[in-house]
Amino acid sequence: EENGHQNKRLKSNADEEDVEDQNKRLPKRKIVLLMAYSGKGYHGMQRNVGSSQFKTIEDDLVSALVQSGCIPENHGEDMKKMSFQRCARTDKGVSAAGQIVSLKVRLIDDILEKINNHLPSHIRILGLKRVTGGFNSKNKCDARTYSYMLPTFAFAHKDHDVQEEVYRLDKETLEKVNKLLACYKGTHNFHNFTSQKGPRDPSAKRYIMEMYCGEPFVRENIEFAVIKVKGQSFMMHQIRKMIGLVIAIVKGYAAESIIERSWGEEKVDVPKAPGLGLVLERVHFEKYNRRFGNDGLHEPLEWTEEEEKIAVFKEQYIYPTIINTEREEKSMANWLNTLSIHDFNSSAVGMQANNKNSK
């Protein structure tokens, strides 16, 4: 009996080694993975190799790729070896419903199922497509669409509306919000909407294709609304600051003219809305699809068949996280209380002079 057990154990080890050998013989292919994740508790998407205290989405992804046998272990330590590229670096706490990463993998059988088996349930790979050898998900992406889900009391006027969860957004206020969001469309200098960029830095110019707020809806007695924004590319904190400034205007803290002023050279104090409600909805590869999508060898990077899975994931993991965290931690309510300490009227020079005088 003892020998029988040992034989079984040796056989199962041999089977595993066979699979591993087969995997090693598989040629590596360039693919893209469609990912969805809830970002709560993570320090963003991008991996910081050697920094284990700040867990990122890519830490979990790379670990699952190694464990499933798609990539050798040393590729996990040096991601350049698998030509890994993410389409967007989502910030701390930000979720995604349609993130895309490109990389070289061994195309093992049941690859999606095997990777997902090694991932926590709040990170899913929803789709996979083969792409051209030189494909880079960041460089080939022509636009990104984000959404921002927020409780509508963020738009309650500070002087004459209730500020709590009983607030309901009226038609006139929603129209005003949309009029202000539409001001962002086109190409503008967004140096005031990020840190580390000066007014003359050409990379501060960004092109916004659309931005609007949808009809409000009620979840667990709180009314929410979703703002959608599509742009060529965004800088760090840019969307949160764009939304933060519109909230400050609608609430009555800042004049409408501040948007125009923020594109000028002076430094404007732009508040940054919380990261909680921000979701990377989808990334667009229009140029790539026109060139390679119908060449007979490659598929267009469109995910119509995965739409259902994306919708289910959002309902299961992303929306409940935003709603429950807002209820428990009151991130929007607490942030709204800080708007009164921003100085929306003076320039940075004026602010420094005021600080000196007050000291």
What are the angstrom distances between the C-alpha of 349 and each of 269, 340, 352, 356?
Answer: 11, 19, 5, 11
Question: Annotated catalytic, 59?
Answer: no
Q: Which of 102, 204, 149 is nearest to 315 (CA)?
A: 149
Token pair recorded at residue 55? 């867990």
Specify which residues 112 forms β-bridges with.
none
Token pair recorded at residue 42? 């993570």
Burial zone of 11 (CB within 10 Å; 0-12 exposed, 13-18 middle, 19+ buried): exposed
pLDDT at 75: 84
DSSP assignment string, 146-175: EEEEEEGGGGS-TTTS--STT----HHHHH
Binding residues for substrate: 146
Token pair recorded at residue 258? 């501040």
Catalytic residue among 18, 59, 60, 91: 91
pLDDT at 357: 44
Question: What distance in Å separates the CA atoms of residue 335 and residue 273, rounded to the nearest whole number?
Answer: 7
Question: What distance in Å separates the CA atoms of residue 232 and residue 140, rounded to the nearest whole number?
Answer: 11
The answer to whether residues 327 and 220 touch, using CB atoms and an 8 Å cutoff, is: yes
Checking 290-298 for CB contacts under 8 A at 24+ apart, the result is 292/131, 292/132, 298/129, 298/130, 298/131, 298/132
The answer to whether residues 298 and 131 touch, using CB atoms and an 8 Å cutoff, is: yes
Q: What domains are defined for the chain?
A: 26-138 (3.30.70.580), 141-283+315-338 (3.30.70.660)
* pTM, full prediction: 0.86
Q: Which of 111, 165, 103 is nearest to 131 (CA)?
A: 103
Query: Which residue bears the tokens 């690859």?
Result: 111
Question: What distance in Å separates the CA atoms of residue 143 and residue 46, rounded to the nearest whole number?
Answer: 19
Q: Which is it for strands 95-106 and 222-231: parallel, antiparallel or unpaired?
A: unpaired
Q: Which of 189, 190, 187, 175 is nearest to 242 (CA)?
A: 190
Query: Which residue bears the tokens 């991932």?
Result: 119
Query: Which residue bears the tokens 């707020």?
Result: 213
Residue 99's identity, in one-letter code, is Q
Along the chain (359 residues), what's the average pLDDT of each consecutive run of 10 residues? Answer: 55 57 75 95 84 86 94 86 90 92 93 97 96 89 96 96 93 98 98 92 96 96 96 94 98 96 94 94 93 84 94 96 93 95 71 45
pLDDT at 17: 59
Question: What distance in Å separates the CA atoms of residue 229 and residue 256, rounded to the nearest whole number?
Answer: 20
